[in-house]
Structures are given as structure tokens and as C-alpha cells.
């Protein structure tokens, strides 16, 4: 259980966002080594949802809190300086989800995916939403990424220059109006609502990605095939997503996954008899690269092994990561 001395989720500060003060308290206690190991695991989805309300990325928030050790008042001020005030209606809706944790909204769940798409989803565990974001907005997003990491999209000599915000192929860029516009695509949200079969879901503020072609001096750093959940049976249902900002060929560092593995993961894990799953040849499970166009959005179930791939083309891959989930989703 979470330490009983922690601040209750209902206690708020000037921003009136519940759970924010508790999250700050957990980080400060962990920083001092005074928190039980499972304290974050038990509330991980609630933590992420709270950050979604604030429009903050997990990595940037953790980095700020652990390096700065601010007072709670300073933390609230940093939130305002980083992304402005959260929307009052979002605060109200989030606070109500804490006060009424058993509430599930299924009002007006959209039906944007037809029977053929749903059949594909049920079989393969992923789906591609075509033209979910306008190509013009994809181009604007690419320009923002290039400006941020100081590269020229058309000059390969600039693609490999180190930048503090680059972590492998991930770019720690979270806040920008065009990123928010992409995240709030009506078709993407509606598809998530249909797949979750509920409307009380939240979009997170995740990172963007830049995967340039591999060279003799720069080798693809991953992430290769992996899972973003603990491989403990039964694997809970959860969804992930990636937006292609460029037309992306299979050899262009395309996102890759093992289709249909949600139907096999239980028996596969059991067959390992306790062996480390990551010691296995995950590509031999039937991994495929997903070619798609700028503006296409891929949603997949978290039970599928997935990852990026080596870019052997002559063009970089640009993407944006984000997903929608309810407050009580299991990671």
C-alpha cells in the first residue's frame, strides 16, 4: 500500500488540480529514498492522467522535480511557466474522476471504425487511421522539430549533430500549439473512444521522434522490439499510438510490431518457463514494419511487441507519440 503519511489526492494548491500535491510529495520522498518501491506503480496511470491535465510530459516533469527539488508553490509556478493554466473544464472533470473513481462514461461513444476495420483490429491488435491529421499540419510539426533540435531537414550533414533534447531517436519536445492540435484530432479521439468503449479518456503529452538514416558512424540506437508494460499475466488492455509526420516506407525506420500477438502472449510467456522474454528472438515472432503516409495514425494494443526499426533509406523519419486512456487504465 502507498505510505499513509502521503498527502491525500483531494488536497490541492492554487491550481485546484487534485493529486498534483500528492504527486509532488511522492517525488520529493522518493528523491530522499523515503518512499516504498511500489508507491509509483500503484498510481502510475493516475499520475500520468494528472500530468495530461497540466499538458506536461512525464520525462520533463520528473527531470525538473528531481533536479530542482522545488517547494510545491514553486512546482505550480513552473507548471504555469511551462504550459500555462490548465482548462477549468478539464480540472473539474479530472477532480470528479478522483471523487467518483467508479464512474465510467459511455455516453455517445462514436462509431468511426466500420465493421471491416474492427474485424482487422480484433485479429491483428492494431489499426491505421488514414489522414487523421492534415498533411499541412504534419509539415508544420516537422518544421517545429527541426527548429527545436537545430537541424535542416534537407541537409544530411546536420542530422547527426548532438542536441540536449535528443535521446536516441526520441526528442524531448512536449509543448507547442501544433503538437496540441495534432493530439486533439477529432478522428483520433473518436477512434480511441470506440476502442475503449467509453468517453472519459485523456490524451497525454508525449514526445516526438526523429530517426535519421543509419551511417557508418551513426548506428540505430533503438528502441527495438519491446513492451511498455510489465509482462505479468494477464496482460491488461491498454492502447498506444504514433503519428507519422512524413510518408514513411518500410525501410525508413518504420514503426514495427507483431500483429495478432495479443492472442498468443499468454501461451508464449507460459512456454518460457520463467526465462527472460527479452532473451528471446522477438523478431522471429512475426514482426512487420508498417509503411504509412504523413497524417496516418497507428493505434495498437500494448500486448504487441513493438518498436522502431533501422532506417536504411536516404530520408529521416519524423513522428509524434501520444495516446488516450481513462484514469483507471492498467499499465
Tell me the per-residue pLDDT of 125-172, one tens digit each, with 9 for 90 and over: 999 999 999 999 999 999 999 999 999 999 999 999 999 999 999 999
DSSP letter at 263 equals: G
Q: Check whether 2 has a pLDDT greater than 70.
A: no
223/302 Cα distance (integer angstroms) = 15
Q: In which band, very low, low, confident or very high, does the pLDDT at 3 lie, cut at 50, 70 and 90?
A: low
Residue 305, helix vs strand vs coil:
coil
Percentage of the chain surpassing pLDDT 70?
A: 98
Tell me the per-residue pLDDT of 169-204, one tens digit each, with 9 for 90 and over: 999 999 999 999 999 999 999 999 999 999 999 999
The residues, any chain, with a CB within 8 Å of residue 286's CB and separated by 6 or more, are 258, 259, 260, 261
Residue 262, helix vs strand vs coil:
helix
Q: What average pLDDT score do residues 40-57 get?
A: 92
Evaluate whether 150 touches 166 at the Cβ level (below 8 Å).
no
Instruction: Choose the final residue of a domain: 73, 99, 125.
Output: 99
Which of 121, 52, 112 minimizes the C-alpha distance to 322? 52
Does 161 lie in the same domain as 43? no
Look up the domain containing 75 and give its range: 20-99
Q: What average pLDDT score do residues 247-272 get?
A: 97
Number of independent structural domains in the chain:
2
The residues, any chain, with a CB within 8 Å of residue 4's CB and separated by 6 or more, are none
Instruction: Choose the final residue of a domain: 65, 99, 133.
Output: 99
* Helix or strand (DSSP H, E) at 89: helix 88-99
Phi, psi of 176 (to 5 degrees): -170, 145
152/219 Cα distance (integer angstroms) = 20
In-domain check, residue 35: yes
Cell digits for 138?
A: 504534419
Predicted TM-score (pTM) of this structure: 0.94
Q: Check whether 105 has a pLDDT greater than 70.
A: yes
Phi, psi of 210 (to 5 degrees): -135, 115
Does 119 lie in the same domain as 64? no
Cell digits for 148?
A: 527545436
Q: Is 109 left (phi over 0), alpha (psi -120 to 50) or beta?
A: beta
Does 225 lie in the same domain as 90? no
Evaluate whether 148 touches 170 at the Cβ level (below 8 Å).
no
**Residue in this structure with the C-alpha cell 507547442, named with its chain if needed:** 176
Does 141 lie in the same domain as 58? no
Amino acid at each position: 500500500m502507498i505510505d499513509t503519511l502521503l498527502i491525500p489526492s483531494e488536497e490541492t494548491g492554487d491550481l485546484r488540480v487534485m493529486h498534483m500535491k500528492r504527486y509532488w510529495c511522492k517525488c520529493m520522498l522518493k528523491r530522499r529514498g523515503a518512499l516504498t518501491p511500489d508507491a509509483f506503480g500503484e498510481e502510475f496511470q493516475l499520475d500520468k492522467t494528472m500530468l495530461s491535465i497540466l499538458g506536461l510530459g512525464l520525462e520533463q516533469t520528473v527531470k525538473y522535480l528531481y533536479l530542482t527539488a522545488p517547494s510545491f508553490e514553486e512546482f505550480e509556478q513552473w507548471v504555469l511557466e511551462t504550459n500555462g493554466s490548465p482548462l477549468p473544464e478539464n480540472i473539474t472533470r479530472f477532480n470528479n474522476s478522483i471523487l467518483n473513481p467508479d464512474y465510467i462514461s459511455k455516453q455517445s461513444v462514436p462509431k468511426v471504425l466500420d465493421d471491416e476495420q474492427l474485424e482487422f483490429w480484433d485479429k491483428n491488435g492494431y489499426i491505421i487511421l488514414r489522414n487523421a491529421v492534415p498533411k499541412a499540419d504534419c509539415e508544420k510539426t516537422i518544421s517545429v522539430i527541426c527548429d527545436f533540435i537545430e537541424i535542416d531537414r534537407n541537409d544530411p550533414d546536420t542530422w547527426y549533430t548532438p542536441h540536449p533534447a535528443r535521446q536516441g531517436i526520441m526528442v524531448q519536445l512536449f509543448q507547442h500549439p501544433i503538437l496540441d492540435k495534432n493530439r486533439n484530432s477529432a478522428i483520433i479521439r473518436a477512434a480511441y473512444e470506440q476502442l475503449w468503449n467509453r468517453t472519459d479518456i485523456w490524451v497525454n503529452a508525449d514526445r516526438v521522434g526523429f530517426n535519421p538514416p543509419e551511417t557508418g558512424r551513426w548506428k540505430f540506437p533503438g528502441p527495438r522490439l519491446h513492451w511498455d508494460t510489465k509482462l505479468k499475466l494477464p496482460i491488461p488492455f491498454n492502447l498506444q499510438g504514433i503519428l507519422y509526420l512524413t510518408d514513411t516506407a518500410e525501410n525508413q525506420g518504420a514503426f514495427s510490431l507483431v500483429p495478432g500477438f495479443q492472442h498468443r502472449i499468454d501461451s508464449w510467456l507460459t512456454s518460457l518457463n520463467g526465462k527472460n522474454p527479452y532473451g528471446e528472438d522477438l523478431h522471429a515472432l512475426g514482426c512487420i514494419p508498417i509503411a504509412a503516409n504523413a497524417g496516418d495514425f497507428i493505434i495498437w494494443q500494448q500486448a504487441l511487441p513493438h518498436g522502431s526499426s533501422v532506417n536504411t533509406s536516404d530520408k529521416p523519419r519524423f513522428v509524434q507519440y501520444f495516446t488516450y486512456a481513462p484514469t483507471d487504465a492498467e499499465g
